[in-house]
Structures are given as structure tokens and as C-alpha cells.
């Protein structure tokens, strides 16, 4: 379990860095222990500034708002410049309202005062939420609550871009295998082959077992490369990369949910017997144990989701926080801004290298844990009498 | 809480896109790639095993060669030994034969010599007898050539004969 230790230490390191950085903020002090708390606090800052209206009016640089904006999702792809005056790529807004489908470009509601007259309602974009309004900009809360937002947002577009990138990469690798059958790998193929072999030999075979691993290889490979490629894409700060996709809770939720579903579908009698009625355990203990085991089924993918989300989001927050420092000091004096920029850039470069490691590590951990959970679900029962011994070395129980 | 609240739209697009790339990659990338890797590994394994087998065979062959060589050497040894024995036997036989032959020849020679000697002696005897008779004849002729001489002889003879 050496890999677990290193992950936690990286995480702790990230958190301590956030702590240092955020302690320097003039506006608000943060509580830092779990990342959710930090996130909630950051959102509180957003809410505060929202009440005091947007930063365009206040004119002062707000680091918390800027960071949350960058790691969150958006209806347009911000390239450069201030909001309202900057350059954006408008993205399609797709809404399913109670009256029917509504599709329009987000450039129609780009500015905070823009009201777009759609087929069914009037719309405004407020804090990245599409809201149904009347002629004067008053929100119709009932109608808004019924709106289902299927917009191609920045993250949705990133998913599609990364999917196309993956398709191109692996279809060309597959072609290379067909063309160079039996020969040594070359080019992109030789870069991917060690990773594929790594997933096959060190993740799938060891966690699921020699007999059944092949069935789960396509999922494990897809999920590994999806996370890995998106983690790396998140580190490149230019269009069409740089969105915090793997640090988005929706994406992590879907990935973890798929792992959960595969685990549940693959679970054999042996697995379920161990959940509902652990053999060799007296019934009074089972009353306590079974709910815990049932909770464990959901808890494992939940932790999987939170781990990926927190690690990647933390990385983005750190990079942004270092850059915010430049502007915070720059507002006080231009010289201080330039001075701090050197330190900020150096730290960001350092963190960039660390994030490269984290990008691989988190993809690996997600895949490994998925494989371990699947492995536990498909594990064949041993002899009835050595259940206690067997329980001891079952990997799932060590991890969660 | 917005950051930790899943968005329906994004969940939907993520599910759809992930499902599509999963299915496409599974069919067109992962399966062929894994198959090819497996095939290549198998072929490498096979090649290594074949090489191992060839080496083993080589070793066996070498061992066989050595055995054959040793056998040949042993055979040569026995053959040489046999030859030597035979040679010895022939020589000793020849020696014995020669010796017997020699002995026989010597014996024969000796017998011949004896016979010859006897014949010679006999002839000599005969000749001596003949010669003696001839001499005696001649002497008698001489002695008895006249009456007087005959009378002397008789006298002499008579003198010798002592009348007891």
C-alpha cells in the first residue's frame, strides 16, 4: 500500500500549500482541512461579492471569485480579457423547459444585463445559471426550477474534445499494431504500450486475477486514459485545453458510478454472501456488520469520486492562487506585483511538475481501486473454513 | 456548494460521450491492441521456447556425438587389442610351426646323413673287400708265379700251422 501513502502525502502537501496561499488573502480567512470546506468557503466569497454586485463594478481584483470561476463550469469559453469586454467563444445553450426544447448561443446572454427572448421564455445568465426572467429581469423561480440545462458547456466541450483526441490516438495506435504485426512498437504506439501493459499486468491481472481480468480491460483502459489525458489537458492553459474537467464533480460522479455499476453487476454469490451474511459471524454481529458492508458498497465509489475531484481541483486552485498573488500585490503597488510574479511563476512551475505526477497518479489510483473493487466482486470463494483468514487479506477491506 | 453539486447536463454529456468512446475504443482499439500484444508475446515466448529447445537438442546432439566418439575410440581400442592378440598368436604359432619344421628337417637330415654314412661305409667296405681281393689276387698271382715260390709259400704256411 505504498502507493496510498504517497497519494496522501501529495494531497497533504497540496493542502498545506493552499493553507499558506490563502492565509495571505486580505479579504477572508479560510478553514482548510478537507477540500470541500475550502470550496464552500470560496463559494461564500462568491456569494458575498454577488450581493455587493459583480467585480466589474467594484473594480477590485477578487482572487476567490476568479479561482472559483476558473475551476467551475461555464457557458462560454473565456479566452482573455475582462468579463464583458474580453474575448469569449460562445457555446450552445440547450435547455429542456416545461414547454419544450430551447437552443440558442450563449453570446445572446453573454453580459449580465442581456435578456434573450427565446421561443418559450426570456432568459438571463446569472453566475453561470440560465434563469427564466420577465421583461425587467426578475427571476421566475418556478419556471427556472423546471429547466433542465443540457448546454454544451466548457466542460462538456472538453469531454468531446478529449474523446476525439482519445479516438484519434488509440485508433492510430491500433492501426499501428495491425500494420506492424509482431514487430517492436514505434512512435505513439511505443509510448502507449508500456501504459497499456502496466494497466494489464500491474492493475488488472493483480487485482482481478488471471482468469477474469480480460473482460474488464476495455473499461479500465478507457477510464485510465480518459482521466490521464484530461488531467494533462487541464494543465495546458490554452484553448481547447485547460478546463478543470477531472476536477469536476459531475465527471467524477459518472466515472465512479460506472465503477459502482460494474462492481454490482459483476458481483458473484460469494461477494453478496460476504456483504449480507458474512460467513462465520454470529447473527447479533451481523446486525451491525451488514449495514456497514452495505454502506461500504456506496462509500467506496464515493471516496473514489471525492479523491479525484479534490486532487485535481486542488492542483488548479494552487496554480490560480499563485497567479492571484501577483494581482493582489500588484493592486497594492506595481513593484510588489512584479516582485511577487517571479516567485509565483517559480512556484507554479514547481507545482506544474508536481501536477504532472498527480495527473498520472490519480488516473492510476482511480483505475487501480476500480480494479480492486471489481476484483473483490468477482473473487471466487475459497474453502468455507478459512473465511476469517481470507477476510484479513481481502484488498477492499484494507483500502476503505 | 455549486462546485460539489453535480450538474445534470454535464452528467448527461459525460455519460453519452464516455459510453460512445468506450464502445468505439473497445471494438476498434482495445480488443485489437490487446490481441496483437498477446499474439506478439506468445510469438516471443514461442521463439524463446524454440531456442531453448534447439539448445537442448544441440546439447543432446553434442552428448550423442561424444558418446559415439567414445564408442568409436573404445572400438578402435578393442580392435587394436584384438589385432595385437592375433598378431601375437600368429607369430607364436608361426614360431612353433617353424620350430617343428626345423626340428623335423634336422631329424630328416640327420637320418639321411646316417643312411648316407651307412651306405658309404658299406660301399667303402665293399670296395675295400674288392680291393683286398684284387690285391690278394695280384699278390697270389705274384707269389704263385713260379713253382719255387709256391713251395716257399706252402712251406711258410706249413710252418705257421702248428700241428698239435
Is residue B13 in some structural domain? no
Are B18 and A159 a contacting pair at CB < 8 A?
yes
Q: What is the mean pLDDT of chain A?
A: 80
CA–CA separation, A377 vs B63, rounded Å?
Answer: 54
Chain B CB contacts of A309 under 8 Å are 4
pLDDT at A340 over 70: yes
CA–CA separation, A170 vs A174, rounded Å?
Answer: 6
E-strand ranges in A69-140 read: 76-80, 87-90, 92-97, 100-105, 116-117, 122-126, 129-133
Chain B CB contacts of A94 under 8 Å are 9
Give backbone dihedrals phi and psi of A5, rounded to 5 degrees, phi first: -60, -45
**Contact A391/A226 with Cβ under 8 angstroms?**
no
Is the minimum CB–CB distance between B1 and chain A shorter than 8 Å?
A: yes
b/e sequence A106-127, b meaning 16+ C-beta within 10 Å: bbbbbebeebbebebbbbbbbe
Run of H or E residues at B125: helix B31-143
- Coil, strand or helix at B164: coil
DSSP tag of A381: P
How many structural domains comprise chain B? 1
Chain A: give the shortest CA distance to residue B49, in Å: 17
Sequence-ordered list of residues with C-beta below 8 angstroms from that of A135, at least 6 positions apart, any chain: A115, A122
Sequence-ordered list of residues with C-beta below 8 angstroms from that of A274, at least 6 positions apart, any chain: A293, A391
Chain A: give the shortest CA distance to residue B75, in Å: 52
Q: Which residue of B has its CA nearest to A181?
A: B36
Q: Which residue of A has its CA nearest to B13?
A: A156
Closest CB to B22 among A181, A193, A222: A222
Pick the range with the lowest mean pLDDT from A33-42, A180-189, A195-204, A238-247.
Answer: A33-42
CA–CA separation, A114 vs A84, rounded Å?
Answer: 11
Is residue B30 in some structural domain? yes
**Contact A63/A321 with Cβ under 8 angstroms?**
yes
Closest CB to A226 among B4, B18, B34: B18
Q: Which residue of B has its CA nearest to A68?
A: B3
Counting one residue from chain A and one from chain B, the pairs whose CB atoms sit within 8 A come to 125
Is residue B43 in some structural domain? yes
Are A174 and B26 a contacting pair at CB < 8 A?
no
Note the pLDDT of residue A399: 44
Is the minimum CB–CB distance between B5 and chain A shorter than 8 Å?
A: yes
Run of H or E residues at B114: helix B31-143
Grid coordinates of B77: 581400442
Reported residue count of chain B is 164
CA–CA separation, A246 vs A252, rounded Å?
Answer: 6
Q: What DSSP string runs through A238-277?
A: STTS----TT-HHHHHHHHHHHHHHHHHH--HHHHHHHHS
Chain A: give the shortest CA distance to residue B39, in Å: 7
Closest CB to A167 among B7, B24, B34: B24
Closest CB to A218 among B9, B11, B30: B30
Run of H or E residues at B78: helix B31-143
Chain B CB contacts of A163 under 8 Å are 17-18, 20-21
Pick the range with the lowest mean pLDDT from A5-19, A64-78, A202-216, B34-48.
Answer: A5-19
Chain A CB contacts of B39 under 8 Å are 181-182
**Could you tell me which residues are beta bridge partners of residue A130?**
A125
Closest CB to A72 among B3, B11, B33: B3
Higher pLDDT, B15 or B156: B15
Chain B CB contacts of A148 under 8 Å are 8-9
Q: Which residue of A has its CA nearest to B7?
A: A250
Q: What is the pTM of this model?
A: 0.72
Higher pLDDT, A146 or A389: A146
Residues 34-73 of B with CB under 8 A from A: 34, 36-37, 39-40, 43
CA–CA separation, A100 vs A106, rounded Å?
Answer: 18
Chain B CB contacts of A193 under 8 Å are 37
Note the pLDDT of residue B80: 95
**What's the maximum distance between 2 C-alpha atoms anywhere in chain B?**
204
Q: Which residue of A has its CA nearest to B25?
A: A167
Q: What is the mean pLDDT of residues A85-93?
A: 86
Confidence category of residue A252, pLDDT binned at 50, 70, 90: very high
**Contact A374/A266 with Cβ under 8 angstroms?**
yes
CA–CA separation, A25 vs A253, rounded Å?
Answer: 31
Is residue B15 in some structural domain? no
ipTM above 0.90, yes or no: no
Note the pLDDT of residue A225: 95
pLDDT at B159 over 80: yes
Chain B: give the shortest CA distance to residue A367, in Å: 15
What number of other Cβ atoms are within 10 A of residue A48's Cβ?
A: 14
Is residue B77 in some structural domain? yes
Q: What is the pLDDT of residues A176-220, one digit of tens each?
A: 988 888 788 888 889 999 999 999 999 999 999 888 899 999 999
Is residue B10 in some structural domain? no
Are A166 and B21 a contacting pair at CB < 8 A?
yes
Strand order in the sheet with A148-149: A100-105, A92-97, A148-149
CA–CA separation, A260 vs A14, rounded Å?
Answer: 28
Q: Which residue of A has its CA nearest to B12?
A: A150
Percent of chain A surpassing pLDDT 90:
37
Angle value at C-alpha A339, between A336 and A344, nearest 5 degrees: 110
Q: Which residue of A has its CA nearest to B4?
A: A249
Chain B CB contacts of A67 under 8 Å are none
Chain B: give the shortest CA distance to residue A247, in Å: 9
pLDDT at A11 over 60: no
Are A217 and B28 a contacting pair at CB < 8 A?
no
Are B33 and A196 a contacting pair at CB < 8 A?
yes
Q: What is the pLDDT of residues A120-142, one digit of tens each?
A: 888 888 888 888 888 887 888 88
Chain B: give the shortest CA distance to residue A171, in Å: 5
Task: List helix spans (H) across chain A.
Answer: 2-23, 35-51, 55-58, 63-71, 141-146, 154-179, 188-198, 206-208, 213-235, 249-266, 269-276, 283-332, 334-378, 387-393, 395-399
Pick the range with the lowest mean pLDDT from A313-317, A347-351, B145-149.
Answer: B145-149
Closest CB to B5 among A219, A249, A313: A249
Q: What is the pLDDT of residues B78-116, one digit of tens each?
A: 999 999 999 999 999 999 999 999 999 999 999 999 998
Sequence-ordered list of residues with C-beta below 8 angstroms from that of A206, at least 6 positions apart, any chain: none
Are B9 and A151 a contacting pair at CB < 8 A?
yes
CA–CA separation, B71 vs A4, rounded Å?
Answer: 67
Run of H or E residues at A149: strand A148-149
Confidence category of residue A43, pLDDT binned at 50, 70, 90: low
**Could you tell me which residues are beta bridge partners of residue A88?**
A78
pLDDT at A57 over 50: no
Chain A: give the shortest CA distance to residue B21, in Å: 6
Is the minimum CB–CB distance between B31 and chain A shorter than 8 Å?
A: yes
pLDDT at A326 over 60: yes
pLDDT at A100 over 80: yes
Is the minimum CB–CB distance between B78 and chain A shorter than 8 Å?
A: no
Domain that holds residue B126: 20-160
Amino acid at each position: 500500500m505504498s502507493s496510498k501513502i504517497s497519494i496522501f502525502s501529495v494531497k497533504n502537501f497540496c493542502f498545506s500549500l493552499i493553507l499558506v496561499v490563502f492565509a495571505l488573502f486580505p479579504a477572508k480567512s479560510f478553514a482548510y482541512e478537507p477540500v470541500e470546506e475550502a470550496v464552500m468557503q470560496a463559494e461564500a466569497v462568491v456569494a458575498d461579492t454577488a450581493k455587493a454586485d459583480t467585480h466589474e463594478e467594484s473594480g477590485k481584483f477578487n482572487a476567490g471569485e476568479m479561482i472559483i470561476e476558473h475551476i467551475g463550469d461555464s457557458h462560454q469559453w473565456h479566452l482573455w480579457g475582462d468579463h464583458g469586454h474580453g474575448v469569449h467563444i460562445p457555446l450552445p445553450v440547450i435547455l429542456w423547459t416545461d414547454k419544450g426544447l430551447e437552443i440558442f448561443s450563449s453570446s445572446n446572454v453573454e453580459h449580465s444585463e442581456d435578456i434573450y427572448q427565446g421561443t418559450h421564455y426570456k432568459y438571463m445568465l446569472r453566475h453561470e445559471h440560465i434563469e427564466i426572467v420577465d421583461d425587467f429581469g426578475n427571476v421566475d423561480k418556478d419556471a427556472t426550477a423546471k429547466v433542465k440545462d443540457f448546454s454544451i458547456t466548457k466542460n462538456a466541450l472538453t469531454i468531446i474534445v478529449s474523446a476525439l483526441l482519445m479516438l484519434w490516438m488509440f485508433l492510430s495506435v491500433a492501426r499501428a499494431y495491425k500494420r506492424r504485426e509482431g514487430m517492436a512498437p514505434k512512435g505513439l504506439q511505443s509510448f502507449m504500450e508500456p501504459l497499456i501493459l502496466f494497466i494489464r499486468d500491474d492493475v488488472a491481472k493483480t487485482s482481478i486475477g488471471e482468469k477474469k481480468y480480460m473482460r474488464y480491460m476495455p473499461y479500465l483502459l478507457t477510464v485510465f486514459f480518459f482521466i490521464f489525458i484530461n488531467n494533462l489537458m487541464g494543465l495546458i492553459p490554452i484553448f481547447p485545453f485547460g478546463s478543470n474537467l477531472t476536477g469536476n464533480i459531475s465527471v467524477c460522479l459518472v466515472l465512479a458510478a460506472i465503477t459502482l455499476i460494474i462492481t454490482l453487476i459483476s458481483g458473484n454469490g460469494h461477494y453478496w454472501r460476504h456483504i449480507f451474511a458474512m460467513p462465520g459471524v454470529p447473527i447479533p454481529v451481523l446486525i451491525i456488520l451488514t449495514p456497514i458492508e452495505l454502506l461500504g458498497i456506496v462509500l467506496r465509489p464515493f471516496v473514489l469520486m471525492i479523491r479525484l475531484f479534490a486532487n485535481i481541483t486542488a492542483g488548479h486552485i494552487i496554480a490560480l492562487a499563485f497567479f492571484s498573488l501577483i494581482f493582489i500585490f500588484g493592486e497594492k503597488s506595481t513593484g510588489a506585483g512584479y516582485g511577487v510574479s517571479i516567485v509565483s511563476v517559480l512556484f507554479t512551475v514547481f507545482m506544474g511538475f508536481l501536477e504532472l505526477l498527480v495527473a498520472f497518479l490519480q488516473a492510476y489510483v482511480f483505475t487501480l481501486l476500480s480494479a480492486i473493487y471489481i476484483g473483490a466482486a468477482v473473487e471466487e470463494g475459497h474453502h468455507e473454513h478459512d473465511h476469517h483468514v481470507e477476510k484479513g487479506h481481502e484488498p477492499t477491506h484494507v483500502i476503505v | 456548494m455549486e462546485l460539489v453539486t453535480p450538474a445534470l447536463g454535464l452528467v448527461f454529456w459525460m455519460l453519452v460521450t464516455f459510453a460512445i468512446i468506450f464502445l468505439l475504443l473497445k471494438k476498434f482499439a482495445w480488443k485489437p491492441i490487446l490481441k496483437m500484444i498477446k499474439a506478439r508475446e506468445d510469438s516471443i515466448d514461442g521463439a524463446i521456447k524454440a531456442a531453448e529447445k534447439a539448445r537442448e537438442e544441440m546439447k543432446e546432439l553434442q552428448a550423442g556425438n561424444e558418446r559415439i566418439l567414445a564408442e568409436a575410440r573404445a572400438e578402435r581400442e578393442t580392435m587394436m587389442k584384438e589385432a595385437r592378440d592375433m598378431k601375437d598368436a600368429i607369430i607364436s604359432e608361426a614360431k612353433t610351426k617353424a620350430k617343428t619344421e626345423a626340428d623335423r628337417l634336422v631329424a630328416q637330415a640327420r637320418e639321411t646323413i646316417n643312411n648316407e654314412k651307412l651306405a658309404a661305409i658299406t660301399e667303402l667296405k665293399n670296395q675295400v673287400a674288392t680291393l683286398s681281393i684284387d690285391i690278394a689276387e695280384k699278390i697270389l698271382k705274384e707269389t704263385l708265379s713260379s713253382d719255387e715260390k709256391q713251395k716257399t709259400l706252402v712251406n711258410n704256411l706249413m710252418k705257421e700251422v702248428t700241428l698239435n
